Structure 1
Amino acid sequence: MAVVTRTVAEDEAGMRLDRWFKVHYPDLSFGHLQKLVRTGQVRVDGGRVKTSSRVEPGQSVRIPPLGLEEPEAAAAPAKGARSGEAGKDGARAASAETGATPSATPPAKPRASKDPAVRKLEEDRAFIKSITLFEDKDVMVLNKPFGLAVQGGSGTYRHVDGLLEALKDRDGQKPRLVHRIDKDTSGCLLIAKSRLAASVLAKSFRSREARKVYWAVVPGVPKPRQGRISTYLARDEDEEKMRVARHGEDEASHAITYYAVVDQAAQKMSWLSLKPVTGRTHQLRAHLAHIHHPILGDPKYFDIENWELPGGLQNRLHLLARRLVIPHPRGNGVIDVSAPLPQHMAQTFAVLGFDASQYDPILEAPEG
C-alpha cells in the first residue's frame, strides 16, 4: 500500500483521529497508529496531529503504508433492503419494560433463501429489528446485547456496524453509528439513518446536549453516596485499558463522571446511577475502579483481591446504558429511550432485592 490521501466526509465532523482510523482501518492497532502519528507519518492538511485531534469535513488525511489489506469495497445493497418506520411528527419517547430480556434474543427466522448471502442479510435485518427500541425515518435506538461489539477489529467479525450493512438503501447508504459503547455493556445505542441526522446528532454529543444515564452494580457502598469523579485518563501501555493520568501527560484527556447510590444490599453491593459528562474510552469502568468500587464482572478493571462472587450472580459486566435523551435531529422535540436490564443484571437485581420499576433514572440521576 502506497501513501494515500483521504478526505474527511461531512458526517465525520468532529470525529477524533483515532476513531476516524478505527472506522476506515479497523485492523490497525492503536499502538501502531500512535507510532505513525508520533513520527509525523500521519498528517492532516499537511500538519502534525495527535490521536486525540478532531477532524473536520474537507480536511485531507495523509495515510502512510499501514501493512494492512485494502478495505473491501462496500457490498451492493440487498434488493428491497429497507428499515421500517415508526412514530409520527417528531420523536416519541420509547421505553422498554424494566423486565429482563435475554442478551441476544433470537429473532423470528426469516423466509429461507437459496442464496446464502441474501439469507444472511435477511437474518441480520431480522436481528436488528428484534433489538430496536425506537425508530423513525431519521434515527434508530438499539438495545445492544451484552457481548456484541459495536465496531469490528482484530478477531471481531460480528458487530453492529457490520449488521447495519443489511439496512443499506437503494443508493448504497447504510445507517451510521453516532457513538459507541463497550462490547460487554448492554443498552441504548443511537444510530443515524442519514448523513444529516449523523452530523446533527454528533454535534449534540460534542456540545453535551445528549443526556446519558448508566446503571451499574458494584461491591461495597461508595462514600459519599453521591459524588463527582474528575481525573485525567490515558491509555495504558498494554493498550488494553485506561489508567488515571496526570494533567499534561501525553494523550491524557480530562474525564468527569457523576454518580449516585440508588440502593444497596447491606454494605456488600450497591446499585449506582452514573452520568458521564465526558465520553472517554472505558471512562465509567476506570473511574469506578479508581474510587475502589469496580463494576461487578469487569474483566479489565475489577481488582479487589480475594473477593468472591456471591452465589446466584453471573460474572459478567454489570453495566447498562439505561437511558438516552437527545434533541431530535430535525428539531421535533426529543428522543427519550430506556433499555431493559439484560438477563444477567436482572438476575442480580432479583437476588439482591433491587426494584428497577420504582426508579426513574433521569429524575433521580446526579446532575452534571
Structure 2
Amino acid sequence: MSVFRGNRRPGKPAIGAEAGRPVRTARPAKPFGSTKPAGSSRPAAVKPAGRAVAAVPTKAEQKAEASAALATGVQTLTVSADEADMRLDRFLTARFPQLPFTHIQRIVRKGELRVDGKRAKPNERLLEGQTVRVPPLKIDDRPAAPRSLKHGGDDLAFLKSITLYEDKDLLVLNKPMGLAVQGGSGTTRHVDGMLEAMRDKEGQKPRLVHRLDKDTAGCLVIAKTRFAATALAKSFRSRSARKVYWALVVGVPRVKQGRISTYLAREEVSGGDARMAVAQHGDEGASHAVTYYALVDNVAQKLAWLSLKPVTGRTHQLRAHTAHIGHPIIGDPKYFNVENWELPGGIQKKLHLLARRIVIPHPRTGKPLDITAPLPPHMQQSWNLLGFDAGRFDPIVEAPDE
C-alpha cells in the first residue's frame, strides 16, 4: 500500500484542462475531474481493410427485419452506424427487445450466432457494416401483457423525483439504498425495469452504462440515446470518468492517504452466495483492482469517514478493499469481518457507502459534467450523530488517476 500526498486547497477543485496540478512525489497528480483535451479520446473503431461496407438499412427496415426473424427463423442483420461499438449482446437486446436477455446470452454462448461468419463472444464490440447471423428464435410469441399506465406513471414520477441531472442525452439518478440496478433472482423492482416508463416514440428506452450495488446509494449515470450510451461506455472503459465514494468504516487507518492494489477473484461461500476475495496474480478469474483512499474525519479512533477513488471498477471493489486493510464498511453484510464489535447507538445497521460524486465528459460536448449526490438518510443520521461536516474539504481530490 503506497501513500499519496497533495497540497490541500479549500473549496471544490477546478475541473477541466485549466485546473492546476498539485505536486506529489514521483510524478504530478492530475486533479480529480480533469479530462482529456478535445480530440485525445480513443479513436473510433477502424473497419477491417478490404471488406466493403454493406448498405445500412433504415430504422423501419430494421424493425421489419426483426419481426421477420421472429416469424421465419434465420436472419442476417447489418450493423448500422449508430450501432457501431455496441456489445453483441446489447445489439441483440436493442434489435429484439421482446427477447429475454438470458436467452440472448445463451444463443451467443452456444455459438448459434455468427458475426461475419465467425463465432463471437457476448462482449465483442461490433463495427459498422458487419453482418450478424441470428438463428431461429424459439420464444413464446404471445404478446406481452401491456404495462399498467398507473404503474408506468408511478415509475416515471419516482425516477423524476431522484434525478440529479437530465438533458436530451443522459440523466444522473440519485439511486436510493436498497434499490437494485438490474433484475435477478427474486428481484422484481429495479432501475432497469423502471426505465421502461421512459421509452420514446421509436420504442428506445434509456440504457444503463455502469452499475452500483443494490445497497450502495448515489450517482448512477443513464444514457437516453444510443449515441450517448456508446460515448459514455467509452468514458468508463477508458477511465476518463472520475468517481468518488464516501464510506463510514471501523477504526482509523494509520496511513491517512494511501493506495490499495490487489487482485480480486470471486469465491463461493455457504448458501451459494458469492463475494470477492483478495487473490494472487495468475489465479483463475483474478483481476487487478486499484483504489485510492483518504481519511476525511474520525471519531475517537473508533469510526472513520473515508473518501474513496476507485481507478478500476471491479465487483464489490471498495467493500473488499476496505475490509482488506482492516477497516470494513459499517453495515456491510458480506465483508464486515471485525469480531465482537458493537455498533454505536443511533447508527443504523445499513451499508454506509455512497457514490458521492462523478465527473464525466459529456457525450456530445466533451465538457466535464460534475454531479454530486447528497447523503442518504441513514448516512445523514450518522454524520449528524458523529458531528461530521459534509462540506469539509475532501483530500481525495489530490489522488492520482492510476
TM-score range, shorter chain: 0.7 to 0.9
Report what 1:352 is aligned to.
Answer: 386
Corresponding position of 2:283? 249
1:132 aligns with 2:154: no
Contact 1:274 1:365 in 2 (8 A): no
Does 2:337 align with 1:337? no
Tell me, yes or no, if structure 1 residue 295 matches structure 2 residue 329: yes
- For residues 226-247 of structure 1, the C-alpha deviation after alignment (integer angstroms, 9 at most, x for no partner) is 1111111111134521111111
Give the Cα separation in 1 of the matches to 2:160 and 2:215: 20
The answer to whether 1:264 aligns with 2:298 is yes
Report the alpha carbon displacement of residue 69 of structure 1 after superposing the two structures with TM.
7.5
TM-score by length of structure 2 reads 0.69
Q: Does 1:190 align with 2:221?
A: yes
* Pick aligned residue for 1:313 from 347, 350, 367: 347
Q: Deviations over 1:288-345 (max 9, x none)?
A: 1111111110111111111111110000000000001011111252211000000000
| CA deviation profile, 1:166-218 (whole Å, cap 9, x unmatched) | 01111111111111110000000001110000100110111111010000010
Q: Secondary structure at the match of 1:263?
A: strand
Following the alignment from structure 1 to structure 2, what is the Cα–Cα distance between the partners of residues 63 and 287?
43
Q: Is the 8 A contact 1:228 1:259 kept in 2?
A: yes
Q: How does 1:183-262 map onto structure 2 within 5 Å? A: 183-237=214-268, 238=272, 240-262=274-296
Identity %: 58
The separation in 1 between residues aligned to 2:133 and 2:266, in whole angstroms, is 23
Q: 1:352 Cα shift?
A: 1.3
Is residue 17–residue 55 contact of structure 1 (8 Å, CA) maintained in 2? no
Alignment of 1:23-38 (within 5 A): none
1:111-153: per-residue Cα shift (whole Å, max 9, x none)? xxxxx81111111111000000001111100000000000111
Q: Distance in 1 between matches of 2:164 and 2:241?
A: 17
Unaligned runs of 5+ in 1: 77-115
In 2, Cα distance between the equivalents of 1:42 and 1:272?
A: 48
- For 1:325, the aligned partner's letter is V
Q: Aligned partner of 1:278: which letter?
A: T
* 2:249 and 2:304 in contact (8 A); partners too: yes
Please say if residues 143 and 339 of structure 1, whose CA atoms lie closer than 8 Å, have aligned partners that are also in contact. Answer: yes
Deviation at residue 358 of structure 1 after TM alignment: 2.3
2:174 counterpart residue number: 143
Q: What is the alpha-carbon distance in structure 1 between the residues aligned to residue 399 and residue 265 of structure 2?
A: 27
Question: How many aligned residue pairs are there?
Answer: 316
Say if 2:294 and 2:395, in contact at 8 Å, map to a contact too. Answer: no
1:58-97 → structure 2 map (5 Å cutoff): 58=130
Q: How does 1:48-67 map to 2 (within 5 A)?
A: 54-57=124-127, 58=130
For the aligned residue pairs, the C-alpha RMSD in angstroms reads 3.6
**2:46 aligned partner:** none
Q: CA contact under 8 A between 2:296 and 2:394: conserved in structure 1?
A: no
1:181 aligns with 2:181: no
Query: 218-227 vs 312-321, which deviates more?
Result: 218-227
